[in-house]
């Protein structure tokens, strides 16, 4: 095989959604983001209702909104106050468009303020569970006389309505908890229908997108797959594509999608860092190379990664070293593939929203995204990101439809740097081998006790400190393993999982007895915040 010269990555334009009546992008909702922590939950809920949507910043040029051609617009919550000077506001042209509008929390307040009503600082703030009584029937909330369990999070409130609006719901501290102008299709709710704490919230959003905006429920896995496959075939033609296959959910689904679309035109490069879970490398090869027939080049790079990480203890340094070396090895291997014109990546929609400098987000970086940064500029490949419109739960659903094993698709999140950030401090082969075995025992027992799918994420952490123990009749001075399990909806906040003591006792006993070098097992009962889910 001839060795091609390294080529420059050219992030090609991402095609706009195909807007024809047979495509699942045809009916769409626009969400204007005013900085709420729940904005992505609005998007995910609308998608779950079978309607395509995208999230734009509140100050987007109205021409972009027109080009997007939504059937309706949702204004998210946010931290600002609608009565202040220079406060964020929806584009004025939106209210001349004839589009239905739903304002949520701050979105309701800016809707009111911009249309001539009033907003004030509330004497009594509302945070947490509340009851809303529906006073009048409307298309959004349904019949009058309902008692709705909702989730509030606000310090301001509406004090006077614009012309044409009426109160349709009240709470103890919000005389304008829900408002409506049925004639124009304008609605506002002071509570958050997108969170699970609002019992009928999904039904409300469903009525808005389906009944009020008239959107069909055609954003479903089969249609999504068909649209993506057709788009990839049109863009790629007969050219070759390379993909860095990590074994994670996103890259695995990309591999299955591209194999469906272009077959042997795809070559996957699987860099085995030596920082994967027990037997994970073999499982990746069995699934893709043997079961699906995907062309996969496996690179055993454990020694290279361990050598580069020697003496490095800082978490961000480790992340950077692992990411950079992965790129070096991927570049080295991809240079051996002749004729490759495209680089595929597993970028998903939250990456697009959250990445610093992108058109949708201004989020503060808490720690480095393992999948943000790309390859060296001198590699001339066009970028192919077939999942960049999808949330993680959508990625999982289409993965199952594509024939990937359900346990692979629905397994718990695993960080890009792998065990490198679950070993505190310096990474050594001894530590990685110990952690792999301990983690495998923990996950195996979660499966046995039917608890794996009841927690959102569970894993073991290696602590490079030694603790006194007794093994048989001998004193032992060996390492410590910490176990972590959390329950969360969106991974932005999380509670530690209340696992049964008997199950934890079994795990602890097995790890200490079966994994040489461990004398103590602990359980992490920290929530997020203040702790993060991963330890590094």
Exposure letters 128-157 (e unless 16+ CB within 10 A, then b)? eebebbbbeebebbbeeeeebebbbbbebb
The pairing of strands 457-471 and 474-487 is antiparallel
Catalytic residue (one of 25, 53, 105, 213): 105
Exposure letters 426-452 (e unless 16+ CB within 10 A, then b)? ebeeebbbbbbbbbbbbbebbeebebb
**Does residue 131 contact residue 147 with C-beta atoms inside 8 Å?**
yes
Q: Which of 141, 252, 233, 231 is nearest to 190 (CA)?
A: 141
**Which letter does DSSP use for residue 423 in this model?**
B
| C-alpha to C-alpha distance for 283 and 100, rounded to whole angstroms | 49
**Does residue 108 contact residue 75 with C-beta atoms inside 8 Å?**
yes
Residue 192 annotated in active site: yes
Give helix then strand counts, H and E, for the chain. Answer: 14, 19
How buried is 91 (Cβ within 10 angstroms: 0-12 exposed, 13-18 middle, 19+ buried)?
A: buried
| C-alpha to C-alpha distance for 454 and 450, rounded to whole angstroms | 8
Catalytic residue (one of 26, 126, 138, 194): 194
Q: Residue-wise pLDDT tens for the chain (536 aa)?
A: 333 333 333 333 333 343 344 567 789 999 999 998 889 999 999 999 999 999 999 999 999 999 999 999 999 999 888 888 889 999 999 999 999 999 999 999 999 999 999 998 876 666 778 999 999 999 999 999 999 999 887 678 899 999 999 999 999 888 999 999 999 999 999 999 998 889 999 999 999 999 999 999 999 999 999 999 999 999 999 999 999 998 889 999 999 999 999 999 999 999 999 999 999 999 999 989 888 889 999 999 999 999 999 999 999 999 999 999 998 999 899 889 888 999 999 999 988 886 533 343 333 333 333 344 444 566 678 999 999 999 999 999 999 999 999 988 999 989 989 999 999 999 999 999 999 999 999 999 999 999 999 999 999 999 999 988 766 666 678 999 999 999 987 677 899 999 999 999 999 999 999 999 999 999 999 999 899 999 99
- Give the DSSP H or E segment for 178: strand 178-181
Exposure letters 260-283 (e unless 16+ CB within 10 A, then b)? bbbeebbbbbbbbbbbbbbebbeb
Alpha helical stretches, state H, 341-402: 349-354, 392-401
**Which letter does DSSP use for residue 294 in this model?**
-
**Does residue 496 contact residue 486 with C-beta atoms inside 8 Å?**
yes
**Cis bond upstream, residue 37 (ω within 30):** no
Residue 124 annotated in active site: no
Residue 197 annotated in active site: no
This prediction has a pTM of: 0.80
Residue 354 dihedral angles phi and psi, to the nearest 5°: -90, -20
Long-range contacts of 433-436 (CB under 8 A, 24+ apart): 434/462, 434/479, 434/481, 434/515, 434/516, 434/517, 434/518, 435/460, 435/461, 435/462, 435/481, 436/277, 436/278
- Give the DSSP H or E segment for 309: helix 302-309
| pLDDT at site 292 | 85
**Cis bond upstream, residue 530 (ω within 30):** yes
| C-alpha to C-alpha distance for 54 and 350, rounded to whole angstroms | 11
């Amino acid at each position: 095989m001839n060795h091609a010269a390294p080529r420059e990555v050219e992030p090609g334009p991402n095609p706009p959604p195909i807007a024809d009546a047979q495509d699942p992008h045809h009916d769409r909702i626009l969400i204007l983001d005013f900085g709420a922590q729940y904005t992505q939950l609005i998007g995910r809920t609308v998608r779950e209702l079978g309607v395509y949507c995208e999230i734009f910043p509140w100050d987007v040029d109205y021409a972009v909104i027109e080009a997007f051609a939504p059937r309706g617009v949702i204004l998210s919550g946010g931290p600002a106050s609608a009565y202040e000077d220079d406060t964020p506001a929806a584009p004025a042209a939106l209210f001349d468009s004839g589009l239905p509008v739903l304002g949520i929390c701050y979105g309701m307040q800016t809707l009111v303020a911009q249309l001539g009503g009033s907003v004030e600082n509330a004497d009594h703030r509302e945070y947490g569970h509340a009851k809303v009584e529906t006073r009048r029937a409307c298309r959004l909330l349904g019949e009058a006389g309902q008692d709705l369990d909702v989730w509030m999070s606000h310090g301001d409130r509406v004090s006077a309505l614009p012309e044409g609006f009426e109160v349709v719901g009240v709470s103890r501290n919000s005389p304008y908890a829900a408002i409506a102008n049925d004639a124009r299709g304008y609605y506002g709710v002071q509570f958050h229908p997108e969170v699970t704490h609002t019992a009928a919230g999904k039904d409300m959003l469903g009525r808005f997108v389906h009944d009020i905006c008239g959107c069909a429920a055609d954003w479903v896995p089969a249609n999504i797959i068909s649209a993506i496959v057709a788009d990839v075939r049109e863009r790629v033609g007969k050219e070759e594509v390379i993909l860095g296959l990590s074994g994670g959910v996103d890259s695995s689904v990309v591999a299955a999608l591209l194999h469906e679309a272009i077959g042997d035109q795809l070559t996957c490069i699987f860099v085995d860092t030596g920082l994967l879970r027990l037997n994970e490398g073999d499982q990746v090869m069995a699934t893709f190379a043997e079961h699906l027939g995907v062309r996969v080049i496996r690179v055993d790079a454990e020694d290279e990664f361990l050598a580069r990480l020697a003496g490095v203890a800082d978490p961000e340094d480790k992340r950077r070293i692992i990411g950079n070396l992965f790129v070096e090895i991927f570049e080295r291997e991809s240079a051996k593939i002749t004729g490759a014109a495209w680089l595929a990546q597993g970028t998903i929609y939250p990456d697009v929203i959250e990445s610093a400098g992108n058109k949708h987000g201004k989020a503060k970086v808490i720690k480095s995204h393992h999948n943000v940064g790309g390859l060296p500029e001198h590699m001339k490949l066009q970028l192919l990101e077939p999942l960049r419109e999808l949330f993680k739960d959508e990625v999982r659903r289409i993965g199952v439809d594509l024939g990937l094993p359900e346990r692979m698709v629905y397994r718990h999140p695993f960080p890009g740097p792998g065990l490198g950030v679950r070993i505190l401090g310096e990474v050594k082969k001894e530590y990685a081998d110990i952690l792999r075995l301990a983690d495998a025992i923990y996950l195996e027992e979660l499966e046995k006790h039917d608890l794996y799918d009841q927690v959102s994420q569970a894993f073991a952490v290696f602590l490079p400190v030694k603790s006194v123990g007794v093994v048989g009749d001998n004193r032992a001075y060996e390492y410590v393993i910490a176990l972590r399990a959390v329950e969360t909806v969106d991974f932005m906040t999380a509670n530690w999982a209340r696992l049964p003591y008997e199950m934890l006792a079994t795990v602890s006993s097995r790890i200490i007895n079966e994994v040489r070098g461990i004398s103590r097992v602990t359980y992490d009962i920290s929530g997020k915040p203040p702790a993060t889910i991963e330890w590094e």
